[in-house]
Amino acid sequence: MTLAFMFIGQGTPPPWVTRDVLGDRDVVPLIDVASEATGMDIARLLIAGGRELAKTEIEQPTIVAVCLGLCRMLARAGVAPGVVMGHSLGELTAWAAAGAISDEDAVRIAAVRGRLMAREAARSPGGLARLIGDRATCERAIAAGAAVGSMCIAAYNAEDEWALAGDEPALAAVIAQFRARRLPQTGAWHSPAMAGAVDELRAALGALPRQALRARFLANRDGSDADGETIPELLAGQLVRPVRWLEMVRTADALGVQRYIAVGPGKTLRGLIHRELGVARSVTIVDNVRSVAECG
């Protein structure tokens, strides 16, 4: 039975894991790397919470550290993926989970990514909205947003669910007229507003030491089973391109994936798998020591 690991992106409210995970011998070193990369006491933030943890430059490396720590725990239990897939930021986590880059480098590059995106968000204020409706509804919503500002599709999540990226006037227009709600992300991710970060992220990704993939990697760009050599360019370019999660799920299904593990906070991804493939498809959320043990 082919197993896929899935990884969430930014925007899920903490706590992301239980305290027993944060004290695990394989997780603590990655939390320390996140602390070094951000200049913050990440362990304290994860326990205490607070607004600092919601900052893009803090949240991104922290999520990657937590999820890759859980991957290490799963590896100790003898659980390894045949396929990896991540939504937005989760694509970077997936790259490390496939063995191509070190966990430590993934956390550090997530901190770089977060800083770059936060900078561009400050230059071009905006955000994301979740829209429910068919493709025609989505097209009308984009037109309504574009009439007063900038608006585009940031993610194709399901046949009837979309993430839209735009500036404040465009988001307000869409939320007022359609079945849409504002998402917690603090910038217009996966839109032209992030263009200023692409070259710097590309350079940082390209400088990382890399090894061959140990699992098949599904790309946000088009849902394809990507070649390892193309992944740095895919990850950099994805800052201004929509996440095609629906295509990724369909590719995973075509590859014979029968079981999914959402590593870390996973309710959103589990819901999207079930909407496309049916509730009978096995999706396990692993966010505590007990759930790791049950997967072993």
Q: Residue 96 corresponds to which amino acid? A: A
Contact between 215 and 99 (Cβ < 8 Å):
yes
Residue 202: CATH number of its domain: 3.40.366.10
Query: pLDDT (tens digit, 9 = 90+) per residue, 26-64?
Result: 999 999 999 999 999 999 999 988 788 999 999 999 999
Residue 86 resides in a domain: yes
Instruction: Identify whether 170 is part of a domain.
Output: yes
CA distances from 41 to 16, 46, 51, 89 (A): 16, 9, 13, 21
User: Would you say residue 104 lies in a domain?
Assistant: yes
Model pTM above 0.85 = yes
Tell me: do 21 and 117 sit in the same domain.
yes
The Cα 42–Cα 49 span in angstroms is: 10
The one-letter amino acid code at 209 reads: P
**Same structural domain, 83 and 50:** yes
For 174, the domain range is: 126-182
Shared domain check, 276 and 213: yes
Residue 179: the pLDDT is 96
Supply the CATH number for residue 168's domain.
Answer: 3.30.70.250
Spatial neighbors of 188 by CB under 8 A, at least 6 apart, are: 121, 124, 126, 127, 128, 150, 154, 165, 166, 167, 194
Q: What is the pLDDT of residue 51?
A: 84
Asked whether 47 and 19 are in contact (CB, 8 A), the reply is yes
Is residue 6 located within the same domain as residue 46?
yes
**Do 226 and 99 belong to one domain?**
yes
pLDDT at residue 290, rounded to an integer: 95
Q: Are residues 37 and 113 in the same domain?
A: yes
How many domains does the chain divide into? 2
- In whole numbers, what is the pLDDT of the chain averaged over residues? 96
In a domain? residue 187: no
Do 8 and 84 lie in a common domain? yes
Q: At residue 25, what is the residue type?
A: R
Residue 83 lies in a domain: yes
132/114 same-domain check:
no
12 and 98 share one domain = yes
Indicate if 8 and 136 belong to the same structural domain. no
> What angle separates helix 28-38 from helix 56-76, to the nearest 10 degrees?
160
152: three-class secondary structure by DSSP: strand
One domain for residues 77 and 13? yes
Which residue, 151, 182, 213, sits at the end of a domain?
182
- Please indicate, yes or no, whether residues 136 and 110 belong to a single structural domain of this protein: no
**Domain for residue 172, yes or no?**
yes
Helix, strand, or coil here: 283? strand
- H-helix segments, the chain: 19-22, 28-38, 42-48, 56-76, 90-97, 103-123, 135-146, 168-177, 198-206, 231-237, 245-254, 267-277, 289-295
pLDDT for 86-143, tens place per residue? 999 999 999 999 999 999 999 999 999 999 999 999 999 999 999 999 999 999 999 9
Which contacts qualify for 227-233: CB closer than 8 Å, 24 or more apart? Answer: 228/100, 231/95, 231/100, 232/202, 232/205, 232/206, 232/208, 233/202
When computed from its CA atoms, the radius of gyration of the chain, rounded to whole angstroms, is: 18
Residue 14 has which token pair? 């903490």
Could you give the 3-state DSSP secondary structure of residue 158?
strand
